Each structure stands twice: as C-alpha cells, then as structure tokens.
Copies of this chain bind each other. A is one copy, B any other.
Amino acid sequence: MTPAERAELALLLEVAGAPKPGNVDRERDLADLRFEQFLAGAVGARAGLERAADPEEPLGDAFETAVAGMADAAGTNTQFGCLLLLAPLVRTAATGDLTRERATGVVESTTVADAAAFYRAFDHADVAVQEPPEGAAELDVRRGANAVPALRDRGLTLADVLELSADRDANAGEWTRGFPRVFRTAAQIEASDGPLVDRAADAFLHLLAEAPDTLVATNHGEAVAREVRERALELQSADRDAVRAFADELVERGVNPGTTADLTAAALFVALERGVSVRD
C-alpha cells in the first residue's frame, strides 16, 4: 500500500473503532452525523492525500484538496482535523522515514501560501473552532479566505499559524511539537494485538484520558472537557459494556470528543506505516 492508501485506511479504521464514546463508530450514528458519511469523507479525501504524498505539491493545497473532497463526498465536516494531522505525516512518510524529526522538518518547511490554503479550507467545511488568540482577530480561521491578506501582511507560515493555538488546540500542539501524542499512541497500537478496530477504540479511550478534548472544550467549556477526561481515566481498565454506557451518556449529552478521534486516526496511520496491518 502507498502512504495515501494507508492514510485513507486510517480514516476508515478510526471511524470503525468501537465503542468510541461520544463519536460516530461502527456501532453508532449520531443524530446529524452518520457512519456512511465518514466512509464517503474518507473516499473523497483520497485525492488530496495523494497530493500530500507528492513532494512537488504544496502541502497546504494538498490539505485543502483533501478537505474539499471530503466535504463534497460527505456533505458535512467529517474528518477536517484528521486530515490536518495526516497531511504532514503522509508527506513525511512519502519522502523518507516517518520519524518525529522528519515530520518536524515538514512542518518547519511550510510557507505563507500553505497557510493561505489552510484558511481557504475552512470555506469548504463547517469547523467548530475557539475564539482566536488575543490580538489575532484578523487571523480568525472562521474568516476563511478573507483572512489571507492579513496572513500575507504578517508573513505567517502554516507552522506559525498553528503555533498561535498550540497551547489550547491539541491538533495544533501536535503540529508544532513533533506529534508526540500521535507517535506515542502509534507505538501502543503496534505493541498490542487483535483487530485494528479494537486497537483503535483502545487508543481513543487512552488519548481521551490523557488530556481534555479540544472539541469538547470548544463546544461545552473546559470544565466538561476535564470531566470527560477524568471519566475516561476511570474507564481505562473497564470492560466494553462500561465503556458503552459512557458512550450512551456522552451521546445523550451531545458531547463529541472529535479531536481525540483526529489523534486516533493519525496514530493509526503511523502504526500502519510501521507495518501494522489488517492482514495480521
């Protein structure tokens, strides 16, 4: 398989992993978001993931293509955050060893044009985001392409833009710190055994217990994000029925830890690149 194929498969394995409390999974649709839309989103993202694998293609354009393809196929935002993590990882894997050091090199080589494409990607999908950092209202991602002149004025690369939210957005933190949680989780997936969808569910619950989920904090506040994290921590050694009960509760409350799913997909990709396979 190629890196782009493994990235698409990672998206599919992530959504199939169950139970994944609060998220769409093999066992559960949400009221406004269905499993089949994630299948379509993964298929639609593939062309952009192939561009991400091509070092001649600007990384930001590849990401924007992936998001546009996803949104067109799924009709909604299914995997924006996953694709943000996968784009540099696919580029890294397609051009040499997939290491944290080389991934950091890919991040550091991003340009202002990549940042502009990242902003344009927000015009393709409805993405829940936090308020911009103080003094950065012009750079609010919700402005989409309208923010591009401000980006150019300030000469900000995509890495610079993500650095602005690295302390409060888990995906941005991964980008700017060498993907520590993604690689650590990939190692856990590699070290465990059984079907990959089960390992995906375990990885999700582990990541959820590790830090408050960004999307939950954005939509429900820091206190709820901390509570969900603590509950996930208590469930680390629980059986699947207890995890399913927690899943029921989160869905009931409309609490969707989407950023943790993003990290899970990226970790699955790294694990697949390192030789984990559905063939095992």
B-contacting residues of A (Cβ < 8 Å)?
1, 5, 8-9, 12-13, 16, 26, 29, 34-37, 39-40, 42-44, 46, 72-76, 195-197, 277-279
Name the contact of A278 in the complex, choosing from B46, B75, B197, B278 (C-beta under 8 A): B75
Q: Name the distance in Å between A190's Cβ and chain B's nearest Cβ.
A: 16
The answer to whether B72 touches A36, judged by C-beta atoms less than 8 angstroms apart, is: no
A39 is contacted by which of B16, B34, B74 (Cβ under 8 Å)? B16
Are B36 and A197 in touch, CB under 8 angstroms?
yes
- State whether B196 touches A5 (Cβ < 8 A): no
Q: Find A12's partner among B5, B34, B43, B278 (CB 8 Å cutoff).
A: B43
For the complex formed, measure the closest distance between the CB of A89 and the CB atoms of chain B, giving whole angstroms. Answer: 17
Task: Check if B36 sits within 8 Å of A195, measured CB to CB.
Answer: yes
The residue from B34, B44, B195 contacting A5, defined by CB atoms under 8 A apart: B44
Give every chain B residue within 8 A of A197 (Cβ-Cβ). 34-36
A29 vs B74: C-alpha distance when bound (angstroms)? 25
Chain B residues positioned under 8 Å from A12 (CB to CB): 12, 39, 42-43
**A37 with B5, Cβ < 8 A, contacts A12-B12, A26-B26, A46-B46 known:** no
Docked Cα-Cα span, A196 to B43, in Å, equals 15
Can you pick out 15 interface pairs between chain A and chain B where the beta carbons lie within 8 Å of each other?
A1-B43, A1-B44, A1-B72, A8-B43, A9-B39, A9-B43, A9-B73, A13-B36, A16-B36, A29-B195, A34-B278, A39-B278, A40-B277, A40-B279, A74-B278
User: A5, B73: Cβ atoms under 8 Å?
Assistant: yes
